[in-house]
Amino acid sequence: MKLYENAIAPNCRRVRVFLAEKGIDVPGVEIDIIGGQNISGDYLEVNPNGQLPGLELDDGRHLSESAAICRYFEELHPQPPLLGTTPFEKAAVQMWERRADFEGMLGVADNFRNRFPPFENRGIAGTSNVPQIPELVERGRQSVQRFYGHLDKRLGESPYLVGDSLTLADIDAMCVIDFALFSELEIPQSHSKLRAWYDGMESRESARSNPGLTAALGSISKVLGG
Ligand SMILES: N[C@@H](CCC(=O)N[C@@H](CS)C(=O)NCC(=O)O)C(=O)O
């Protein structure tokens, strides 16, 4: 089995942190996103849309989409359960995963991709050839701020997003926030529950299985020499 990934990309981080929480080791193949290795050549056999992560099974079959890859490993290695145990928990994990994707990850991606010069004509991840749309920068920021508000409210009710123990929902939200901080979308000071939870998540051993963009590179301004 091989996991095609990028050492600091947020959706790859989701899978690596998930695997680390389960104690599963899968060999990785590093793919250079900035250099465009994901959108040309052999990687398109793994995932035709050129997005990472991508999983290759020993029999040659492939899976992409971070949530689907995590689901596969949950089925193979049910302990510890990270996708919920009761019908309600399983549905609630999926609810928070979808919020993390649509409100969080896409919001940061809009904010970041539409102003990062190396992604000119790469406005959508993967094989897109879509020009940057500057208006999406602000829309992305607003979406992330709304996501932060939902997280802070929920974490005032519960230690983790779904009940008393960690699930993929928490891992997803942590990876969104790390990407958002890289894109200089700070968590408001008033969101004290969210800030404390995030510090706890980032201090877990699993968080270092893929360092994340902020620890690796600082911020978009730093990368651009600002
Ligand atoms: N919904 C997909 C999103 C995958 C995605 O956007 N991956 C990014 C890395 S975090 C990517 O492949 N970027 C390639 C690019 O920017 O060209 C998932 O959850 O796996």
pLDDT at residue 199 in the model: 98
Distance CA 46, CA 109 (A): 22
Nearest alpha carbon, ligand 1 atom 12: 51
101 CA → ligand 1 middle, Å: 11
pLDDT tens, position by position, 34-56:
999 999 889 999 999 999 999 99
10 CA → ligand 1 middle, Å: 8
pLDDT tens, position by position, 131-157:
999 999 999 999 999 999 999 999 999
> Which structural domains are found in the chain, ordered by start?
2-76 (3.40.30.10), 87-223 (1.20.1050.10)
Query: Is the Cβ atom of 125 under 6 angstroms away from ligand 1?
Result: yes
Query: Is the Cβ atom of 126 under 6 angstroms away from ligand 1?
Result: yes
The closest alpha carbon to 167, from 47, 18, 36, 24, belongs to 18
pLDDT at residue 17 in the model: 98
Distance CA 17, CA 193 (A): 22
pLDDT tens, position by position, 2-38:
999 999 999 999 999 999 999 999 999 999 999 999 9
44 CA → ligand 1 middle, Å: 13
Q: Which spans in the chain are helix H?
A: 10-22, 43-46, 66-76, 87-99, 106-113, 135-155, 168-182, 192-202, 213-217, 220-223
Between 77 and 40, the higher pLDDT residue: 77
CB atoms within 10 A of CB 109: 22
- Overall average pLDDT of the 106-120 stretch: 95
Residues 6+ apart with CB under 8 A from 195: 187, 189
pLDDT at residue 1 in the model: 97
What are the backbone angles phi and psi of residue 203, rounded to the nearest 5°? Answer: -90, -5
pTM of the predicted structure, to 2 decimals: 0.97
Pocket test for ligand 1, best of 4, 11, 110 (most atoms within 8 A of CB): 11
pLDDT at residue 128 in the model: 79
pLDDT at residue 66 in the model: 98
CB atoms within 10 A of CB 24: 12
The model's confidence at residue 226, banded by pLDDT at 50, 70 and 90, is: low
In angstroms, the Cα distances linking 17 to 13, 173, 187, 211, 220 are 6, 12, 22, 10, 23
Nearest alpha carbon, ligand 1 atom 16: 125
pLDDT tens, position by position, 182-216:
999 999 999 999 999 999 999 999 999 999 999 99
Given a cut of 80, whether residue 112 has pLDDT beyond it is yes
Query: Is the Cβ atom of 51 under 6 angstroms away from ligand 1?
Result: yes
| Mean pLDDT rounded to a whole number for the chain | 96
The closest alpha carbon to 112, from 182, 187, 171, belongs to 182
Distance CA 59, CA 101 (A): 30
The closest alpha carbon to 144, from 119, 176, 170, 117, belongs to 176
105 CA → ligand 1 middle, Å: 10
